[in-house]
Amino acid sequence: MKKSTKNLINIGLLILMFVVLYFLEQHFGRRSMLITVLKKGAIYALIAVSMNLLNGFTGLFSLGQAGFMLVGAYTYAVLTIPMAKRMAVYQYYEGGIINFTVPAIVGILAAGLLAALLAALIGLPVLRLKSDYLAIATLGFAEIIRAIIQWDTLGPITNGSNLLKTYPTFKSVIPVFAAATICIAVIVFLINSTYGRAFKAIRDDEIAAEAMGINLFHHKQMAFVISSFFAGIGGALLAMYQGSLQANAFKSSMTYEILLIVVIGGMGSISGSVMASFLFIACSEWWLRFLDTEMYLFGGTFKVPLMRSGFRMVVFSVVIMIVVLFFRKGIMGERELWDLFTPRRKNKEGVKQ
């Protein structure tokens, strides 16, 4: 297939996706469970893909994602709360010290940029570490960021440990999908470029990559900064989705959730991460919810054992263990969805030999 036809098909599929979304939203309503799950799923898809860029494609085992999301979310919220509402939001800090407001789109971009800037600074010392040490250091930085944001002295900017709210949000599912699609498309483009190939080379063999003339630190730094940029944007979108924001929600368990999505989808597969995000969100927010409520069968005479608040997480953990034991490469491994439809060019003679 020619590249131009491929592009046309992709654009066609994207348009189709948005048309379907539009009709789903019209039919089920903006507050329905399906639409809610789609919104959150799209945001998690973006964040999971950004983490996959680092962990799956560049081989840098980083656990700082929640920290960069937090920076993005706060940047967005702090910058976009309307002036008229600031007094009420920052009630303990006399309205705060930021006396300007930017449009939502500028806020989202600023969220990405600030997260990227922070990543560039953190990357300087941290990216010299490898594997577990890198994971521990990034995890630590994420926790430090959370503590700093809740620090009372910074209250006039971050509102301390109080809620941030009344910043602009989205009502429809379309803008979320549009933002996530654009960001993921940029990441796909990057991964298929020369840089992406260099990332994968570093993942496979650092020494050989260096011997080929690839600057290890430069490329690691680049992957880290880009990944954090999109994590920041994902954080801003998540803040919009939630409607209010508190630093406490961005604990390391959030990073683990995203890591889980990446692993279930397949380290090194963009489409795997996207599918796993929607599956994960649908399961945790919707399909497995019934496990958390007590259930009576046979006209209320038989109480189903184990089903009570929290049981959902138990089932979830078991599912994860099964995935790790039997589907170690996740749903997609390193393949992409489109690989399944376009079989690799086979050389006939080559197969015979």
Partner 1 sequence: MIMLKVTDLKVNYGGIEALKGISFDVRQGQIVTLIGANGAGKSTTLRAISGLVKPSDGSINFMGRDITAFNSQKIVAEGVAMVPEGRRVFANLTVKENLKIGAYLRKDKDEIEEGIKDIYRRFPRLKEREWQLAGTLSGGEQQMLAVGRAMMAKPKLLMMDEPSLGLAPLVVKDIFSIIRDLKSEGITILLIEQNANAALRCADFGFVMETGRITMTGSGQELLVNEAVKNAYLGSN
Q: Which is nearer to partner 1, 20 or 208 (CB)?
A: 208
Site for partner 1 in 26-85 (CB under 8 A): none
Cα-flanking dihedrals φ and ψ of residue 172, to 5°?
Answer: -90, 165
Q: Which is nearer to partner 1, 94 or 204 (CB)?
A: 204
State the nearest-atom distance from the C-beta of 199 to partner 1, in Å.
Answer: 11
Q: What angle do CA 179, 184, 185 make, to 5 degrees?
A: 100
State the nearest-atom distance from the C-beta of 161 to partner 1, in Å.
Answer: 44
State the nearest-atom distance from the C-beta of 198 to partner 1, in Å.
Answer: 6
Taking Cα atoms as reference points, which of 265, 311, 278 lies closest to residue 292? 311
Interface with partner 1 includes 350 (CB under 8 A)? yes
Interface with partner 1 includes 294 (CB under 8 A)? no
Span from 17-25, 91-99, 173-181, 207-215 in contact with partner 1 (CB under 8 A): 207-215
d(CA 42, CA 173): 9
Interface with partner 1 includes 203 (CB under 8 A)? yes
Which of 210, 246, 287, 307 contacts partner 1 by CB under 8 A? Answer: 210
Interface with partner 1 includes 212 (CB under 8 A)? yes
Interface with partner 1 includes 204 (CB under 8 A)? yes
How many Cβ atoms sit within 10 Å of the Cβ of residue 147?
10
Cα four-point dihedral sign 165, 166, 172, 175: negative
Site for partner 1 in 89-148 (CB under 8 A): none
Q: What angle do CA 173, 230, 245 make, to 5 degrees?
A: 65
Interface with partner 1 includes 6 (CB under 8 A)? no
| Segments in the chain forming alpha helices (H) | 3-28, 33-52, 65-80, 83-89, 104-126, 131-149, 155-158, 174-191, 194-204, 206-211, 216-242, 252-265, 270-282, 311-326, 337-341, 348-352
d(CA 25, CA 96): 38
Packed helices 216-242 and 104-126: angle between N→C axes, nearest 10 degrees: 140
State the nearest-atom distance from the C-beta of 286 to partner 1, in Å.
Answer: 35
Interface with partner 1 includes 201 (CB under 8 A)? yes
Interface with partner 1 includes 211 (CB under 8 A)? yes
Site for partner 1 in 321-340 (CB under 8 A): 334
Please name every residue paired with 302 in a beta bridge, in sequence order, or none if there are none: 297
Question: How many Cα atoms sit within 13 Å of 203 on the Cβ side?
Answer: 21
Span from 19-27, 112-120, 210-218, 278-286 in contact with partner 1 (CB under 8 A): 210-218
Site for partner 1 in 178-197 (CB under 8 A): 194, 197
User: By the criterion CB under 8 A, which residues form the site for partner 1?
Assistant: 194, 197-198, 200-201, 203-205, 207-215, 268, 334, 344-347, 349-350, 353
